[in-house]
Amino acid sequence: MRKNRPKYKQIIEAAVETIADNGYHASQVSKIAKKAGVADGTIYLYFKNKEDILVSVFEEKMGQFIEQIASSINEKQNADEKLRTLIEMHFLQLANDHHLAIVTQLELRQSNTALRMKINEVLKPYLVVIDDIIKEGTEEKIFRDDLNIPLVRQMIFGTLDEIVTNWVMKEQRYDLVKQTSDVHTLIINGLSVKEVVKED
Amino acid sequence: MRKNRPKYKQIIEAAVETIADNGYHASQVSKIAKKAGVADGTIYLYFKNKEDILVSVFEEKMGQFIEQIASSINEKQNADEKLRTLIEMHFLQLANDHHLAIVTQLELRQSNTALRMKINEVLKPYLVVIDDIIKEGTEEKIFRDDLNIPLVRQMIFGTLDEIVTNWVMKEQRYDLVKQTSDVHTLIINGLSVKEVVKED
Amino acid sequence: MRKNRPKYKQIIEAAVETIADNGYHASQVSKIAKKAGVADGTIYLYFKNKEDILVSVFEEKMGQFIEQIASSINEKQNADEKLRTLIEMHFLQLANDHHLAIVTQLELRQSNTALRMKINEVLKPYLVVIDDIIKEGTEEKIFRDDLNIPLVRQMIFGTLDEIVTNWVMKEQRYDLVKQTSDVHTLIINGLSVKEVVKED
Amino acid sequence: MRKNRPKYKQIIEAAVETIADNGYHASQVSKIAKKAGVADGTIYLYFKNKEDILVSVFEEKMGQFIEQIASSINEKQNADEKLRTLIEMHFLQLANDHHLAIVTQLELRQSNTALRMKINEVLKPYLVVIDDIIKEGTEEKIFRDDLNIPLVRQMIFGTLDEIVTNWVMKEQRYDLVKQTSDVHTLIINGLSVKEVVKED
DNA sequence: TATGAATGAGTATTCATTCAT
DNA sequence: CATGAATGAATACTCATTCAT
């Protein structure tokens, strides 16, 4: 298993740093190799090509990201709490790893369409997690039973993603995690004036 | 005024088509020139450089896009109707111009950070439109008065953007405009079970 | 005769100025046209092509340059005086026209070999003037009778040219004309210790 | 040390040949690479850019040129002999390497001002050699003691340079080295009739 | 004569990938 | 496994010249 070989992780970490520091288009394979402390050719013993490095970066980092969220959610009792946790963990993890935030929100989006399709594949488990929360909320009668699940998922993901991207572009000058409650309320209750589902 | 000369628009249209057909990175200046029916050098009588073509594409197209939305909204009486109109027009315009949808949702995002910053500038008036609706809704007591406006704006834009991007990536196989009501309801009422603000 | 049309001289002067200010390679036809106050296309009513402008610049300027020298020499009585006058006038004219000095010593030399051949043609009358002085000096028994005339001419021209080029490259920070006597003595007497032909 | 790697010299030689055969402006990097038998990209492992190739050509070739002259001079006993040797070696080396003669006398002069400044730097040691001969001649009382050294140096260099350039432009149809004696006499004794310092 | 918009040929340089050692 | 020298495809932009008005 290539992933267990020591240099595999070295290269992945070097790629994240290189991209965060230099930007996507200035992250040549030779730069990544140098930062990883290996020869250029060595990269190709672990990765098929440059795109494979980038997809692997996303897989590794997003795998952890999603797992972390999924496991945090498991401890929660209902969909409402789970949604709040998802939001919080989403923000928390990116707030705690600025390199990762820059790479996922800004730099990797400059990749070509083919790579972006692969990245979407990696994201699928996360979308499933979101879908499951929606379904659970409906079953628990906390959420409406006429929800268009893909649409709701897109709203949730789109909202979180846009918020994080804005935060990164504003050079992370404010506290992202503090937004959790507001975002949660918005998603649960929308904009309208009404009796609000009690929170926390 | 360069924008009034006939070849200016010709080149802009050629750029949109070329990018939609070939993708951002395969859209060489010579390809755009050929599709526009002008010589390569002619491009540079109208645009400073390649980046200027792309920014101008965005300016022209998004300018119309935003104006169209803004004028449609003007005819509406309240924030709720305005929001629904904004959603509908956002979807409608991209649904009616597949090339533009591909270019704005997928291809132009592959541009480097500098170009993306310029693109963000172009989007600002749209964000102001959204902000105004939020403020108006609050004044009309239709929306809550404790809304975090930037956050709400990010939710709305992020939601619409993600929905359109998904639709483009699914190769536009379903009716985007039909989603308007569901999206509107989601944004107004959120996920929760409660008395819903009446929608007609 | 094209040379009598008013814009001809306008363009020639504009070319000299443009080249002196911007350097040979940055002197586009459009820049020259602008400085001359005519349209780009107008240039081609007076000159066959860009090379023709440059050759004409040289012809015009060197024509005057050589004529001036030739007429000054005519007033002198012997080859020694004529040589001194040639040196002095060569230096004087370039010292009095910095633009011309830069153009002839530095910029026009960057032209391709073909153009340089044509420039050499323009210089021929000057070389004849030098040859005549040498012959006269020999006839007057002031100069040796075993002189290899082409070689002597190359020595004289090469010496003057190198001295002026050095002066231009040193940004004309010293008095070129003051060198006349030293140069004259060097050419007449060489380096050796001996009875010197009496000067002035 | 890049200069010791075999391909360095290979590329330098290819550059000289390419420039001599095609002229300065028609000497594309790809042409040089082809003649050197390496890939275009390989050039850039040894040279920073095209200008660096050209400066290096001059450095390498002129380095040898000057060294050869300097070492030949060392064996000579007095300034007069040294000057004659300098002239002879100057002519001899260019006569023996027609490619080099074309490149240094005609082609490399077409370079822009920046490159020409660098080329002048390379020539400085040669000018020092000339200066030293002049000083030595003065000390030996062979040359006058009132010589303006920079001026004399410019005369000597300008003379040799002009003579070689003429010879190259006349397509090297006569024996350059045979001119040595005449040139030497001219420089030592000038044009005037007088008792000549005995030569040979 | 005069204009100036349009033309289109031409080229240095980068960098992902390979492969001999 | 590891190296790193070598490869070579790919592309934006300039500017001398033309020609319809």
pLDDT in tens, A50-79: 999 999 999 999 999 999 999 999 999 999
Work out the number of other CB atoms within 10 angstroms of the CB of residue C42. Answer: 15
pLDDT at C133 over 50: yes
pLDDT at D197 over 90: no
Condensed to tens digits (0 to 9), the pLDDT of residues D140-152 reads: 999 999 999 999 9
Q: What share of chain A is helix, strand, coil (3-state, %, to 5)?
A: 75, 0, 25
Catalogue the long-range contacts made by B111-117 (C-beta closer than 8 Å, 24 or more residues apart): B111/A110, B111/B24, B111/B51, B111/B54, B112/A23, B112/A24, B112/A25, B112/A110, B113/A23, B113/A106, B113/A110, B114/B51, B115/B51, B115/B54, B115/B55, B116/A106
Q: Which of B107, B111, B191 is the closest to A152 by Cβ? A: B191
Amino acid whose CA is nearest the C1' of F15: C28
Mean of pLDDT over chain B: 92
- If we measure between CA atoms, which residue out of C23, C14, C32, C22 comes closest to residue C106? C23
Structure tokens that stand for C172 in this block: 């004309």
* B144 CA to E11 C1' distance (Å): 63
pLDDT at C198 over 70: no
pLDDT at D85 over 90: yes
Give the pLDDT confidence score for residue B198 in this predicted structure. Answer: 43
The residues, any chain, with a CB within 8 Å of residue B63's CB and separated by 6 or more, are B122
Best mutation target among D155, D166, D189, D198 (most C Cβ atoms within 10 Å) is D155
Q: What share of chain B is helix, strand, coil (3-state, %, to 5)?
A: 75, 0, 25
Structure tokens that stand for C28 in this block: 């586009």
Structure tokens that stand for C38 in this block: 């005519």
Q: Do the chains contact at B155 and A186, CB–CB below 8 Å?
A: yes
**Chains A and D make contact, 3+ CB pairs within 8 Å:** no
Give the pLDDT confidence score for residue A114 in this predicted structure. Answer: 80
Condensed to tens digits (0 to 9), the pLDDT of residues C98-127 reads: 999 999 999 988 888 888 888 889 999 999
Are the CB atoms for A182 and B146 separated by under 8 Å? Answer: no
Question: C143 CA to chain D: closest CA distance, Å?
Answer: 4
| Domain(s) of CATH 1.10.357.10: residues in chain A | 50-189
Mean of pLDDT over chain C: 92
Question: B118 CA to chain A: closest CA distance, Å?
Answer: 13
Question: D186 CA to chain C: closest CA distance, Å?
Answer: 7
- The share of chain C scoring above pLDDT 70, in percent, equals 94
How many pairs of residues across C and D have Cβ atoms under 8 Å apart?
143
Give ∠ CA A147-A151-A153 in degrees, rounded to 5. 95
Q: How far apart are CA C134 and CA C151, in angstroms?
A: 11
Q: How far apart are CA B26 and CA D129, in angstroms?
A: 58
Catalogue the long-range contacts made by B124-132 (C-beta closer than 8 Å, 24 or more residues apart): B125/B66, B125/B70, B126/B62, B126/B65, B126/B66, B126/B69, B126/B157, B127/B153, B127/B157, B129/B66, B129/B69, B129/B70, B129/B73, B129/B86, B130/B86, B130/B156, B130/B157
Are the CB atoms for C146 and D186 separated by under 8 Å? Answer: no
Determine if strand E comes within 7 Å of the CB of B45: yes
Counting Cα atoms < 13 Å in the Cβ hemisphere of D82 gives 22
pLDDT digit string (tens) for chain B, length 200 residues: 566 678 999 999 999 999 999 999 899 999 999 999 999 999 999 999 999 999 999 999 999 999 999 999 999 999 999 999 999 999 999 999 999 999 999 999 888 878 888 888 999 999 999 999 999 999 999 999 999 999 999 999 999 999 999 999 998 889 999 999 999 999 999 888 865 444 44
Best mutation target among A22, A148, A155, A163 (most B Cβ atoms within 10 Å) is A155
pLDDT at A200 over 90: no
Give the pLDDT confidence score for residue D1 in this predicted structure. Answer: 54
| Domain(s) of CATH 1.10.357.10: residues in chain B | 51-189
| Domain(s) of CATH 1.10.10.60: residues in chain C | 1-47
Q: How far apart are CA A31 and CA A21, in angstroms?
A: 11
Q: How far apart are CA A53 and CA A119, in angstroms?
A: 12
- If we measure between CA atoms, which residue out of C49, C15, C20, C62 comes closest to residue C35? C15
CB within 7 A of nucleic chain F? A 5, 7, 38-42, 44-45; B 26-30, 40-41, 44, 49-50; C 26, 28-30, 40-41, 43-44, 49-51; D 5, 7, 30, 38-42, 44-45
Q: Where are the alpha helices (DSSP H) in chain D?
A: 6-22, 29-36, 40-46, 50-74, 79-96, 98-102, 113-139, 149-169, 180-189
Four-point Cα dihedral A118, A122, A126, A129, nearest 10? 100
pLDDT mean over D155-173:
95
Question: A78 CA to chain B: closest CA distance, Å?
Answer: 13
Q: Which of A96-100, C38-42, C114-118, D86-90 has the lowest mean pLDDT?
A: C114-118
Give the pLDDT confidence score for residue A124 in this predicted structure. Answer: 95
Give the CATH number of domain B51-189: 1.10.357.10
C-beta within 7 A of nucleic chain E, residues 151-180 of B: none
In sequence order, what are the beta bridge partners of B13? Answer: none
pLDDT mean over C174-184:
97
Are the CB atoms for D14 and D36 separated by under 8 Å? Answer: yes
Give the pLDDT confidence score for residue A198 in this predicted structure. Answer: 43
Q: How far apart are CA D94 and CA D97, in angstroms?
A: 5
Q: Which residue of C has its CA nearest to D180?
A: C151
> Shortest CA–C1' contact from D5: which nucleotide?
F5
Assign a CATH topology to domain C1-47: Arc Repressor Mutant, subunit A (1.10.10)
Task: Provide the pLDDT confidence category of residue C2 given band limits of 50, 70 and 90.
Answer: low
Task: Provide the pLDDT confidence category of residue C65 given band limits of 50, 70 and 90.
Answer: very high
Give the CATH number of domain A50-189: 1.10.357.10
The residues, any chain, with a CB within 8 Å of residue D73's CB and separated by 6 or more, are D82, D85, D86, D89, D129, D133
* C27 CA to F14 C1' distance (Å): 12
- If we measure between CA atoms, which residue out of A109, A119, A122, A106 comes closest to residue A171? A106
Give the pLDDT confidence score for residue D4 in this predicted structure. Answer: 63
